[in-house]
Amino acid sequence: MRTLRLCLLGTVIVVLAGLSTGAVSGQDGADPMAPAYFTYTTTPVGEAAMPDESVVRGHQEQQMVEATDPRASGLITISANSNLVELGDGAIMAAVMSERLTNDGGAWSGSGRFFMANAGDGGVMASMDVLTGEGDYEGLTLIMGQSAGAGPASNWGVIVPSDQMPPVPDPVE
Q: For 14-62, how does the pLDDT look when each residue is reduced to its tens digit (9 = 90+)?
A: 233 233 333 333 344 558 888 999 999 999 998 756 666 788 888 899 9
Can you give the residue range of the structural domain that contains 151? 2-164
- Residue 33 included in any domain: yes
- Residue 170 included in any domain: no
- Residue 173 included in any domain: no
| CA distance linking residue 155 with residue 37, whole number of Å | 11
- Residue 50 included in any domain: yes
How many structural domains is the chain composed of? 1
pTM value is 0.77
Indicate which CATH number applies to the domain containing 45.
Answer: 2.40.350
Q: What is the pLDDT of residue 49?
A: 62
DSSP lists the bridge partners of residue 61 as: 78
Q: For 80-133, how does the pLDDT look when each residue is reduced to its tens digit (9 = 90+)?
A: 999 999 988 899 999 999 999 999 999 999 999 999 999 877 899 999 999 999
Beta carbons of 39 and 69 less than 8 angstroms apart: no
- Residue 172 included in any domain: no
What single DSSP character describes residue 137? T
Contacts for 81 with CB less than 8 Å, ≥ 6 apart = 56, 57, 58, 59, 95, 96
